[in-house]
Amino acid sequence: MIPKVKANGAEIPVIGLGTWRSSGGDVVPAVHAALDVGYRHIDTAVMYSNEVEVGEANRTHSVPRSEIFLTTKIWPDDVARGQMQAATEASLKRLGVDQVDLLLIHWPSPDVPLRAQIEALCKTKRSGLTRHIGVSNFPPLYIEEAARVADEPIVANQVEYHPYLDQSALFEVCRKHGIVITAYCPLGRSKLLRDPVVARIAAANGKTPAQVLLRWHVQQPNNIAIPKSSNPERIAENFAIFDFALAPDEMAAISGLARPDGRMVDGVVALDWNGAPPT
């Protein structure tokens, strides 16, 4: 049984399959390969343009829908009142489901007050379109404000996170509100696979660099990793991380790789990661 992280009533598998930049004929085989080896958490988004294929993959695999934790994300153009409801309903239709397990705001909109975005998100839960709600790419002060105005529990904040990018301030705020971090780009866009510290620890454990990095993620409290791959062998490799553990000094060495220029994702929304949301 894959370990799960508990957050404000949700139980989320600690590793999931990311599907960003997976499209066309790659998606169904990738999701099937993931479900074959034990994944039970699949992540998609409206922006990925692959919800139809993700839905098809889930329906045509023998794993029942009730065992799959399905996440999708609404683009910031559709986070206003009324628009989010319609956008979510369209997502459900593409996915072929009545409800997702987790619905996220993909990026905070600069054009809609944050309170209105969160109110619209909460309404999707009350309407039964999603079991749980969360956000993505929300800086610490945005999380503080979102938690303050939400009248439904926020369970996750999906953000870029890997050893080169220190997210300790964000972890602290999220932990205070019972929110987990879901790490996209958990391997640092593969740059960390070539890091000598990671390579040394991988050799000492008889594991690959990717497995060491993902183990580093899942050994941290309140952290989930969603590595993306469409290669069945890599998908299986990324999941094979539950038969070993990193020692405290190995965890510390990997965490010590953080650097000021560690951020790799240029957001579609210009965010001050230390600033407050606009009013």
pLDDT at 124: 98
- Residue type present at position 139: P
Does residue 279 register a pLDDT over 80? no
**What burial class does residue 129 get, using C-beta atoms within 10 Å of its C-beta: 0-12 exposed, 13-18 middle, 19+ buried?**
buried
With a CB cutoff of 8 Å and minimum separation 6, the contacts of 47 are 73, 75, 106
pLDDT at 45: 97
Q: Give 7's strand partners.
A: 10
Residues 42, 58 contacting (CB under 8 angstroms): yes
* Residue for token pair 């459900």: 92
User: How does pLDDT run across 121-160, given as a tens digit for each residue?
Assistant: 999 999 999 999 999 999 999 999 999 999 999 999 999 9
**Beta strands per DSSP E along the chain:** 4-7, 10-13, 17-18, 41-43, 69-74, 100-105, 130-136, 154-160, 180-184, 223-225
pLDDT at 28: 97
The pLDDT confidence band at residue 24, using thresholds 50, 70 and 90, is confident
Residues 101, 73 contacting (CB under 8 angstroms): no
Residues 122, 131 contacting (CB under 8 angstroms): no
Q: Which residue among the candidates 48, 142, 164, 184 is catalytic per the annotation?
A: 48
Share of the chain above pLDDT 70, in %: 100
**What burial class does residue 172 get, using C-beta atoms within 10 Å of its C-beta: 0-12 exposed, 13-18 middle, 19+ buried?**
exposed
**Strand, helix or coil for residue 216:** helix
pLDDT at 115: 96
- Residue type present at position 4: K
Which structure tokens are listed for 76? 């910031």
For residue 73, give the H/E element and its range. strand 69-74
Task: Give me the chain's average pLDDT, please.
Answer: 96
Residues 155, 133 contacting (CB under 8 angstroms): yes
* Model pTM above 0.75: yes
User: How does pLDDT run across 191-246, given as a tens digit for each residue?
Assistant: 999 999 999 999 999 999 999 999 999 999 999 999 999 999 999 999 999 999 99
Residues 149, 121 contacting (CB under 8 angstroms): no
- For the chain, domains (ranges, CATH) are 4-255 (3.20.20.100)
- Tell me, yes or no, if 161 is annotated catalytic: no
